[in-house]
A and B are shown apart, each in its own frame.
Chain A
């Protein structure tokens, strides 16, 4: 997506609050190109299918089903469209569900405009965007010690756990470090940080580990 890196990415906003959409549109107007808006699952699928944007800014909670419904429907026909989940909610299981459905990142609605534009650009470039909160959720999900009967033989056991380097990166993200600061802290390049984050994202999406679902259930019940 080298072209997208130079021209402003084309963005579709999906959020059920009109005020929020217009706010984002007004603030992001000159940094990204907002090509469309939708307020629910069905119109979102329609708009995205017509416009094929680079990035969809997707609210986790929508009246007609979660954000994951949109991702699942769009991914079938347009695997190139990238999603950045956005929510005011802290419920970890919802966030993890959207990420597992295929979103490239998650930011909270309290994010500043500059950071949001930056995150959109990053997603458009094919990178993953982890907010400090998401990093905490992911660490939590992968940290829960699997009990013996719970571990299903995975087709790729690598997917079921994070490497120590990935954990370090996630920890620093959770502490609010930027990628550049992480790179300096760990004596690695920013590109390496990005690849670590992408690999965490891949594991999160592909892991067949039951733990992730069980963890989410526990969070809800607890």
Chain B
């Protein structure tokens, strides 16, 4: 049985699932579902956990639909990668219901939510929103605010709207504001009915929505809203901290705005094309001057906020890991302080886990060994956990597992367990070396040892599972032991000739 390559994730150096596609030196077996090794006959190779690579999440649920479309259009030439395309275009996005994303917001997080929902970049969605706003004469703004009101935030149960329904004062305020704005617009439309009719009336709805959102949004979102409104406060008479620069900026902006708006308001009588253009430029300049610093600050705040959040998440990650592992173990050690054996065992297990987390960037016990060195480390873990004897492991080189090497691992496990159970040694040494032509494992203890010739026939452990396993797969086993001097089991498994070639440039000397 050849190891089965699981599609998808990082089909790097071993895209061809050659059973012996090995290389020396260095760790390579990072993606754990890359090659599923055959299950060992004693179950020492566990089932790998289910891959979670996103594009394939929908495979089972939607596969039939792609199939049906295919049959319904016989003249359509099916492309070989059609299923992948179908998945990519129909099912991009996170596959969850539409939710606002307050984590990644500029205003209400609607754009970010839509982006995550449909699998676009938030920036793209925002640009589309702005463009649509311009072309729809501002109609998108009330729709955006409506979305803010009606789409629940990520992780929240209810939308703001559902809360606003019970807020009678808020509704009264919204209606009042809307009415006030209607009156104002009505008055203003005397000056320029075209402008007001085109851009003004929609915003009545916006203002009402905004009032409802303001009154009913949770505190965290209110902070964001406040930040949006902040500069308007500084415009008011209360802004005592306004320096001379601000004053100049404000007066310049007001002058520009006044000139521009005046120009625009009078332009309805004129048919000259240049005049509204000049008016627009003046208004824009005024707005930029007025609000530019505020925009800059918002952008900077957003970046800072995002960095802070990333840091906080990282810290939470680390502290939860430390808690799950180190603190738990320390607590256990305190409780079992009277049992030195247990304490040593706990400390060693913890040390190993922390090391592999710190230096190899992986968590132990997640998934299956796909390379020989990982298999050896698994033996170390299991034997230390089950038999409480420290195992010193040294591995040299590494390669992918195949049938023969799985058998070798099983034999090595048997020999190690044997040593842990019977030798009485305080430590077992497990040495594994992957060479181009063969793989060698030595299991050694300084325990009481035994006389190999005097082993009674009914003790099958060593003879059957170690010798038998090795010889069935073309390997060999040698046992050296003497009473009082410990035991050394040497296991040698030749590697398939192809794998020696694949090991990286032939022999090494």
Contacts and interface: CB of A to CB of B under 8 A. Distances in A.
Interface in B317-340: none
Interface stretch (B25-33, B130-138, B141-149, B471-479): B25-33
B21 interface: no
A211 to B, nearest CB: 9
Nearest to A136: B394
A175 B396 contact: no
A176 B392 contact: yes
Interface string A159-195: 0010000000001001110000000000000000000
A19 interface: no
Nearest to A141: B25
Given A132-B429, A222-B28, A143 B392 contact: no
Interface stretch (B86-94, B101-109, B288-296, B501-509): B501-509
Given A90-B355, A132-B394, A176 B427 contact: yes
Contacts of B53: none
Interface in A124-157: 132-133, 135-136, 139-141, 143-148
A176 B444 contact: yes
A138 to B, nearest CB: 9
B359 A143 contact: no
A175 B431 contact: yes
Interface string B412-429: 000000000000000101
Interface residues of A, number: 26
B433 interface: yes
Contacts of B429: 132, 175-176
A133 B431 CA distance: 10
A218 B30 CA distance: 13
A90 B359 contact: yes
B429 to A, nearest CB: 4
Interface string A88-122: 01110000000000000000001000000000000
Given A145-B24, A174-B394, A139 B503 contact: no
Interface centre among A91, A175, A215 (most CB of B within 10 A): A175
Contacts of B433: 139, 143, 171
Contacts of B435: 143
Interface in B433-463: 433, 435-436, 442, 444
B27 A145 contact: no
A78 interface: no
B397 interface: yes
Contacts of B505: 145-148
A218 B395 CA distance: 16
A75 interface: no
B395 A222 contact: no
Interface residues on B, range: 20 to 34
Nearest to B485: A181
Contacts of B444: 175-176
A135 B442 CA distance: 15
B26 A175 contact: no
Chief secondary structure at chain B's binding surface: loop
A136 B377 CA distance: 14
B504 A174 contact: no
Interface in B16-48: 24-28, 30
B122 to A, nearest CB: 31
Contacts of A171: 431, 433, 442
A145 B431 contact: no
Contact of A175 (B30, B394, B503): B394
A144 B503 CA distance: 9
A219 interface: yes
Given A143-B508, A176-B427, A136 B396 contact: yes
Contacts of A145: 24-25, 436, 503-508
Given A139-B433, A143-B508, A148-B505, A219 B26 contact: yes
Contacts of A141: 25
B442 to A, nearest CB: 5
B481 to A, nearest CB: 14
Contact of A140 (B25, B355, B507): B25
A71 to B, nearest CB: 22
A127 B397 CA distance: 27
Contacts of B394: 132-133, 135-136, 174-175
B395 A215 contact: no
A59 B359 CA distance: 17
Given A145-B25, A145-B506, A145-B508, 13 more contacts: A91-B359, A110-B351, A132-B392, A133-B394, A140-B397, A143-B508, A144-B25, A145-B505, A145-B507, A161-B508, A176-B392, A218-B26, A222-B27
17 contacts: A136-B395, A136-B396, A139-B396, A139-B433, A141-B25, A144-B24, A144-B25, A145-B506, A146-B505, A161-B509, A171-B433, A174-B394, A174-B431, A176-B429, A218-B25, A222-B26, A222-B28
Interface of B: 24-28, 30, 351, 355, 358-359, 392, 394-397, 427, 429, 431, 433, 435-436, 442, 444, 488, 503-509
Of all A-B residue pairs in the complex, the 8 with the closest CB atoms, nearest first, are: A144-B25, A136-B394, A176-B429, A222-B27, A218-B26, A174-B394, A139-B396, A145-B508
